[in-house]
Every structure is written in C-alpha cells, then in structure tokens.
Structure 1
Amino acid sequence: MHLGLWAVALQASIVLAAPLAGPTVELDSATVTGTSSGRASSFLGIPFAKPPTGDRRFRLPESIDPYSTSFSATSMGPACPQQSVKLPILTGLPADAVNFVVNSIYQVVFPDDEDCLTINIIKPADATPTSDLPVVAWIFGGGFELGSPQMYDGTGIVERSISLGQPVIYVSMNYRVTGFGFLAGKEVKAAGVGNLGLQDQREALRWIQKYIGAFGGDPTKVTMWVQYNALDFIRSADWNWLISSWGESAGAISVSLQMLADGGDTKGLFRAAFMQSGSPIPVGDIANGQKYYDAIVQETGCTGSSDTLACLRTVPYAKLKAAIDDSPGIFSYQSLNLAWLPRADGVFLTDNPQRLVQQGKVAKIPIVSGDCDDEGTLFSLSTLNVTTESQIRTYVKTEFLSTIQDADLDILLKAYPQDLVQGSPYDTGFLDALSLQFKRFASFQGDAVFQAPRRFFLNNLSGKQKMWSFLSKRGKALPFLGAAHGTDILNIYGGGELADYLIRFATNLDPNGPGSASWPEYTTASPSLLTLVDNLLFPIQITQDTYRKGAMDAVTKITLENPV
C-alpha cells in the first residue's frame, strides 16, 4: 500500500517537474520555441544570415536559407568578435573614479565567435500573426569595436508598452564590429566589401520585413533605435545606478547611416529613427584606413600574397583577431579617431556622410536625436599627459585631424580655449580638472563627434521632416565625467521618461502623449530641446539648441574639410 502511494507520488512529481512547453512561432516550415516571462515572450539567437566564416569572411552577408528544421530559441547567440580593451594609464584620479572606469570596462566580457549573425525578438505574449504591432529595432553601440545585444534585456520595454496600452515588439541584432566588420583600405573598396557591419544591420532589417509578421509585428511600422555609448559597460558597485551599455553612439551613428544608404531610399525597411548620441559623422574615403589594413596584412603573414584580402580569409581566427586587437582601441591615445569605423566605400556610403546630408540624400522619415551634456569626458582620459598649448596643437595635428591647416587649428583652439569654466563637465566651474587640458579636450571631443554633428544633421533636415531633439544633463554629480556619454540609457531601459517617448514615437510617429511633458518639434527657427535635469520638482525643461554656437560652427566646418 505504501509502495503504491510512493509510486503515485513519484509519478506526480515527474509530471510537475516536466518543463512547460514554451511559446512557438512558425518560420517557413520550422517551429521555433522560445520562453515566456510575465506578459512577454522571447525568441533569442535566431540566425538571420549565413555564418560569415571561412570564405564568407570579409564578404557581404548572405541571406539565410528558408528554415526547415525546428529549433529552440531560448538564449542569445555569441557576440561578434570583440576588440580587446586597453585602458589608458590613469594617474591622479581619486580612488572611486579609478574604480568606476576600470571595473566598468574589465568586468564586461561577452562570449564571442565569428559565427555571430543572430537576431532576438521579444513580443507581448498574446501577440498573434494578425496583431500588426509596431516594431522597435535596437542596434547596439560600442565604438564599432565592442558590444552585443546581451547588454540589455528588452523585456522591460515590451512590458512598459503594454502598460501604456501601446504594445510594441522589441528586436535586437548582432552585426560584425572591429576589423571583421569595418575593415578599410583600397583592397576592400575594390572588392566592394566595405562597411560590412552596416550591411549586416541592413540584412537584419530585411529579415524583419520577411519574418516579423509571424511574431505579431507589422513590417511597415519599424523604428530603428540606436545608441553609441561607452558607459554601457559600466558595472561599478559604487555607480550601479548608471549601468548602461555600448549601444548609444555607434548604434545611433549606424541608424543615421542607414538613413543615407541607397541615396536615402529606405526600401521600406524602416519608417522612423530614434538616435541617442550619434549622427552622421565626418569620415572620408575608406582608403583613409589603409594603415590599419596594411598592419593586419603584415602581422598575419599575408604581405607576400598577390591577393591579400583572399589571404586574410584563410588566416586562422585566433591569429587574425590578435592582429586586430593590436590596433588602437577607443581608449587608446588617439581616442575617438577610431581605427574601425564606417567610411565612404562607394557602395553603402557613396561619399562623406555629412556631404550626403548636404546633398539631401537622406531618408525623409520622422526622427528623434539627442545627446548627453558631457559626451567627451570619458574619451578624454587617455590624453591626461597633454598639458601644454604646444602639446595640444601637436596632438590635434598628429592624432586627430592630420590634414588640418595651422590657420584652422588656431580657429579651433580659440573656439575651445584653455578655460576651466568653459570646459566639460560643463557648469562645474573650476572643478573636475584632471589636467590643465582635460576639460578642454572633453569639450572639443564631445562637440566634434556628438553635439555638432547632431546639430548639423537637424539643421540640414529642418523643414523636410518631423524632428525632435533632447539633451540629458542628468548625472552631473559623477566625478570628472558629469552627464557623460551613455548616462541617458538607463532612462529608457529603466523605465524613465524616454522609454515612454520612444514607445509613443514608434507607435504614432510622435513622442508626445498623455502623462508626459510636451515635447516641441525641432526646427531651425525654434531649435527646442527636451532637457532632462537633476531637479526633483522640474526634471524636464524646454531649452534652445543655441549653446556654444560659434564653437560648434567652427568645429563643424573644420571637420567637414578634414574628415578622418
């Protein structure tokens, strides 16, 4: 009798312990099984293109074959090959700032692999193929050197959208970075394989058009959402409230460049863009990156080959990655003059992106574009040894703008003087001066790469399409970094005001709605900024995008004439 009861109990426990079947979708002739959490269902790590390995290395992405075998999609795929992080030697920083920088970089390691082109979908659990929901497509950032969709969980975005009564589907994608995705040089241009990371993003957008309906999404309602941020990797215990991810600027720059592809023809792949800390940047021809290509060819032993690009396709992965890791990273001495970044390749980008903007070859879609107040501080830690006027002149000419003329250099340094009160972090007076030139560097770099390109972009589009812009000045208490690059990201992933604006924008092509402060459109006549500030009573203010006008006009003109 007891044995019989034990058998019944054992059988019941086995039934109870059996895993519940997850949510499923049908892709071609395959059944894909995901997972559920709260009111959302996730389908992760789905291949969207053929593996860019073997002879497919350094080639355009190839569309995935129709799915014919059922599979589980319960975890994200590996990151694409990441560049090793080499921090600058930081001297004179208080212990907490050192801990902030070191821990934030070294503690984030994503498993990576050359076979990495996967996509992730998070949808409302009750969405069906007839739901026709708007789609937010997230493109991570990381200086085109680092990053992965693993940095953020979009479940909170979907949950928040459901609570607002405006459900959306969240999509995140992998794309090749570093030399694997942004190899430059005349050989690359001749082969028509430049900007492979951007081409991967484009292929993912094509995949969304083909398959998002199975998850309940409307392929005609895709909003690209991107960022480019170094603080995205922050994992410091002392500054845990600032956790964000490399997704801001490189991702945002990517979105803006997707708007320039095909002469501004979206091909129906997206209908709106939401950009945080990233706009079309002043980059020149892909041959400007020749020295990095030549260095890799030499380090991998391909120098004597009659076809060095073909040779690089045969180099063992570890050897090739080691050669790429030897190139300058985002925290190297040359800082934001990145080794690996999009350049005009004659195919994806037919000219300097800012020239394309001037030519009107831009997708005429609604956009949101914003920045943080102190974009340049984090990237100016590598130049603390540059302390004199002579040294900063040499630095700009040798490390940042190699073609600049002395007269323009004079104008640039006058626009960004050695004045602590005018430097970044802004509005901190004589404080946060890590070196005699630190705040000057931070102001110049933040404007040259982020603030001025955004203003240039919006001013050129004014009157042609609907636009909104923001400025995040929150986090000023962060020592030496202030409202640094990426400090706005938690606002979205943490359920702040920007999350609601993003969801409404993706749904209605207008960020405004009940329960949120009114956000005026941006025009040259009234360049309104939704400004986020550290003020409990008035956390959102409307200001005008007119600050540092003379300096930004000067840096825009000079960088346009001297693209990297």
Structure 2
Amino acid sequence: MKSLLLSTLLTATVGAVPSAQIKDGIIQGFTSNRVENFFGIPYADPPVDDLRLRKPRPLSKPLGTFDATSPPRICPQKAMAGDLPILDTWPESLSNILLSFNATAQNVGEDCLTVNVQRPVDTKADAKLPVLFWIFGGGFEQGATNTSDWSTLVTKSIEQGGVIVVAVNYRLNSFGFLGGKELKAEGETNLGLHDQRLGLEWVHENIEAFGGDPEKVTLWGQSAGSISVHNHLLINNGDNKSNRTGKPLFRSAIMDSGTSFDAEPVDSATAQAQYDFIVSHVGCESSAPSHSSLECLRKVPWQKIVDATNALPRFLSENGFFIDYVPRPDPSSSFFTAAKFNGSQPIVDVPLIVAHQEDEATTFLQATSGITSDAKLVAMLHQQFPTTPRDFRESL
C-alpha cells in the first residue's frame, strides 16, 4: 500500500522533481500536495562493523545524485510492552496502541543515520525559512522519523511565511545508549545524543540549500525526544555552538513531556550490569583476554545484539515500567557530564516552551496496575532507582 501511494504521488508530480544542491551532492525528493519531501538523507557514515558502538562520523564520501523519495531505514528497535493483563479489559482500539510497541518494524538495520526534510512547495534556496528540528520519542528504545508526517504543519505554516521541518534518526537501546566502563574507557558513550548533535551540524551546514536559515533553528521533541532536547541545553557545559563554525546550532527549544531525567553515571553498577548482560547474551564473554568484549560486540551480527536487548525487562510490564536505556553522565568527557540541571550546571540561554503530551503518563501507569502493595511499589522503585536509599523509598 505504501509503495502504491508513493508511486501515485510521484506520478502526479512528474516533471516537477524538487531538488537541493548540498555539499555532498544533489538531493532529489518528491512533492505531495503543497509539501516537498526529502527522505532518508545520510548525515553520517554507516555505524556498522568497526564503527558500531562508536561516535558517528561525518560523511566521508560524496552522495552524488541522491534519491530521497523512499522511507528511510529504521534503527534497530526494542520491544517495549510485556504481558499486561489489564489490556484484556480495554477496548481493542485502545489496547492495540500499547501492543503496537511490539510490532515488528520493516526495513530495519544499523545503517540508519539519516534525516528527513519537509518544506513548502516552491521554496527557493534564498528563502531563509525558520527550521524545526524534530527528535522523536520512544523511551530511547524505539522510534523513527517515519512515524511522523509533518505535511499538515508545513502546509499550515505557508500562511505565516512557511517553516521547514527536519527529523533526525538516531541510534537507540544497546546501539545508542549502552553504558559500562569499557565504552567509557574508549570515550564512546551516549552515542544517540552524539547522533542527534551531528544531525544538528548537518542542518547547520546544509539547510540553506533547502531554503532554511541555520540561524533560526528550534529544537523540538516529545517524551525521550523532549528529554534529548533538555540534554542539548546541557551538552558541552551549556555550549550550543557548532564545532566547525563556532556559531549556535539552535536558538530556541520546545519540550513536550520530558525535561530533566536524572541518571546514574555511565559506568555505574546499573549500567555495567546491563553491558555485562548484553555481552553474555551474545556470547562475547569468552573473547577476553585475546580480544576485548567490546571488540567482540563490534563483530557479531547486529541481530544478536537486538535479541540480547529484547531479553532485558520490557519498558511496560506487569511489574511496572522500567527505563533501561537513558543518557548517562560521563564525567570523563565534556560532552555530557550531567543529566540533571542543578542550578550550578551551565545551560544554554535560549527561549523555551515546556509542555506535556496529553495522557502519556496514563499510558505508562497501565503497567503499574499489578502493583498492589507497598512492597511491590518499593521493589519497582528500587529497580528504577537502585542507588536511592531504601528508607527514603519506603517513606514515600
């Protein structure tokens, strides 16, 4: 059905192929109604083989003439919903929303670091339109740019002069937010945040070719994407300037359902236990001492890491909800030293809109329907916040 729809859209716009000349090549998209779409534009070298579990690297090869008319590849996903008996009491239309967290995605793979660009039809390269940089949510475990179509927003914006939306794909779960002393020792932590940051650098360098203004970029995210936006206010000790030009990468930010999310350090016992579990599950324990476990993880088939990731507790389960993957502070690097704004932490001074996504917390709370005693509640809180003193949790 998607292929048929895309074919119909392309057929209807033959002879009017929108394009943009960026430094890496010519990007060709397609027009649908009053929106020009450019899907799946690579902003980094594929993070595969030896580049797996490393910070993203800018494109090292030109794209030539790039066909940006197909939905982009989705980064590896983690199933998020466990056995929730309460769903049996829900109308199917509602229970299917949570069950969709376990749906098998198509076109999944590691080579997924891309951006989508959507702009008003007939936008000229010198239009200088403001830019929304969208970061999707999904608990840092799943999600993709193709889950949101910003055509309606872009169309409505035309009446006010127009806006360009750029959506970024970034690595998730074990591929983007795995912790442990091994990754810390190599300086390869919080890779998903590094992906987002490189995506912002791509916008800074290329959005003018699409008619956007690199000095009018607003970060915007929902849930984990919103937490990511908050993190970009703290990254590099509150410095939002480009590593290449020294100019700000964004001038404002919007956060929907997520701001500060405190987390233990990247080499904490919790993070290390997760790393050790993944290593054990894929069979990399025996790789030492001749080869490091991290070197082994870079050589195994990526699907084995997906299987190991899915063997961890589900985000939503009958025992509560558990966030396994989050950005974790790494004090050995200036990139992300703190996950929570504490008053003394430097933060980017830009205008903010902070809001909430209606009923998002309601979705999470369905997983706590089986928490029917104080002991079960304390156990859930302990798994989520293991270093918090037990007497403090019991006093809540």
When normalised by structure 1's length, the TM-score is: 0.63
Change over 3 Å in CA distance of 1:34–1:384 after alignment to 2: same
- The answer on 1:365 being equivalent to 2:350 is yes
Aligned match of 1:543 = none
- The answer on 1:266 being equivalent to 2:252 is no
Aligned match of 2:52 = 57
- The answer on 1:140 being equivalent to 2:136 is yes
1:283 to 256, 263, 266: 263
Segment drifting more, 21-30 vs 201-210: 21-30
2:363 to 359, 374, 378: 378
Structure 1 residue identity aligned to 2:350: I
Tell me if structure 2 keeps the 8 A contact 1:284–1:351. Answer: no
CA distance in 2 between partners of 1:18 and 1:406 (Å): 63
CA distance in 1 between partners of 2:372 and 2:113 (Å): 44
Aligned match of 2:187 = 192
Aligned match of 2:4 = none
Change over 3 Å in CA distance of 1:332–1:287 after alignment to 2: farther
CA offset at residue 17 of structure 1?
Answer: 9.5
Segment drifting more, 48-57 vs 372-381: 372-381
CA offset at residue 93 of structure 1?
Answer: 4.7
CA offset at residue 124 of structure 1?
Answer: 1.5
- The answer on 1:251 being equivalent to 2:237 is no
CA distance in 1 between partners of 2:16 and 2:362 (Å): 49
CA displacement 1:145-169 (0-9 Å, x = unmatched): 0000111111111111102x23111
Change over 3 Å in CA distance of 1:213–1:389 after alignment to 2: same
CA distance in 1 between partners of 2:155 and 2:325 (Å): 36
Structure 2 residue identity aligned to 1:353: A
Structure 2 residue identity aligned to 1:153: D
CA distance in 1 between partners of 2:322 and 2:202 (Å): 33
CA offset at residue 27 of structure 1?
Answer: 1.8
Aligned match of 1:409 = 393
Tell me if structure 1 keeps the 8 A contact 2:319–2:370. Answer: no
CA distance in 2 between partners of 1:157 and 1:373 (Å): 19
SS at match of 1:44: strand
Structure 2 residue identity aligned to 1:36: T
SS at match of 1:377: helix
Segment drifting more, 325-334 vs 167-176: 325-334
Aligned match of 2:198 = 203
Change over 3 Å in CA distance of 1:80–1:68 after alignment to 2: closer
Structure 2 residue identity aligned to 1:408: F
Q: Where in structure 2 are the equivalents of 1:90-489 lying within 5 Å?
A: 90-91=85-86, 93-96=88-91, 99-107=95-103, 109-163=105-159, 165-227=160-222, 249-267=223-241, 268-288=248-268, 289-304=271-286, 305-306=288-289, 307-332=292-317, 335-346=320-331, 347=333, 350-354=336-340, 356-372=341-357, 374-397=359-382, 399-412=383-396
Aligned match of 2:244 = none
Structure 2's unaligned 5+ residue stretches are: 1-10, 242-247
- The answer on 1:75 being equivalent to 2:59 is no
1:47 to 20, 42, 46: 42
CA distance in 1 between partners of 2:141 and 2:13 (Å): 42
Tell me if structure 2 keeps the 8 A contact 1:122–1:158. Answer: yes
CA distance in 1 between partners of 2:149 and 2:346 (Å): 34
Aligned match of 2:5 = none
CA distance in 2 between partners of 1:395 and 1:33 (Å): 50
Change over 3 Å in CA distance of 1:285–1:114 after alignment to 2: same
SS at match of 1:376: helix
Tell me if structure 1 keeps the 8 A contact 2:220–2:253. Answer: yes
CA displacement 1:415-434 (0-9 Å, x = unmatched): xxxxxxxxxxxxxxxxxxxx
Tell me if structure 2 keeps the 8 A contact 1:328–1:334. Answer: no
SS at match of 2:202: helix
Change over 3 Å in CA distance of 1:30–1:406 after alignment to 2: closer
Tell me if structure 2 keeps the 8 A contact 1:88–1:381. Answer: no
CA distance in 2 between partners of 1:18 and 1:359 (Å): 54
CA offset at residue 391 of structure 1?
Answer: 3.0
CA distance in 1 between partners of 2:180 and 2:127 (Å): 46
CA offset at residue 257 of structure 1?
Answer: 0.3
Change over 3 Å in CA distance of 1:39–1:285 after alignment to 2: same
SS at match of 1:254: helix
SS at match of 2:276: helix
CA displacement 1:362-410 (0-9 Å, x = unmatched): 100001011246543322333333212333234333x233233344224
Tell me if structure 2 keeps the 8 A contact 1:61–1:199. Answer: yes
Structure 1's unaligned 5+ residue stretches are: 1-15, 228-248, 413-564
CA displacement 1:84-115 (0-9 Å, x = unmatched): 24422314852416634455434573431110
Change over 3 Å in CA distance of 1:46–1:335 after alignment to 2: farther
Q: Give the fraction of aligned pairs with identical amino acids, expressed as a percent.
A: 35
Change over 3 Å in CA distance of 1:295–1:203 after alignment to 2: same
RMSD: 2.3
CA offset at residue 338 of structure 1?
Answer: 1.4
Change over 3 Å in CA distance of 1:17–1:96 after alignment to 2: closer
SS at match of 1:188: helix
Tell me if structure 2 keeps the 8 A contact 1:276–1:370. Answer: yes
When normalised by structure 2's length, the TM-score is: 0.88
Structure 1 residue identity aligned to 2:275: Y
SS at match of 1:309: helix
CA offset at residue 20 of structure 1?
Answer: 2.7
Tell me if structure 1 keeps the 8 A contact 2:79–2:101. Answer: no
SS at match of 1:32: strand
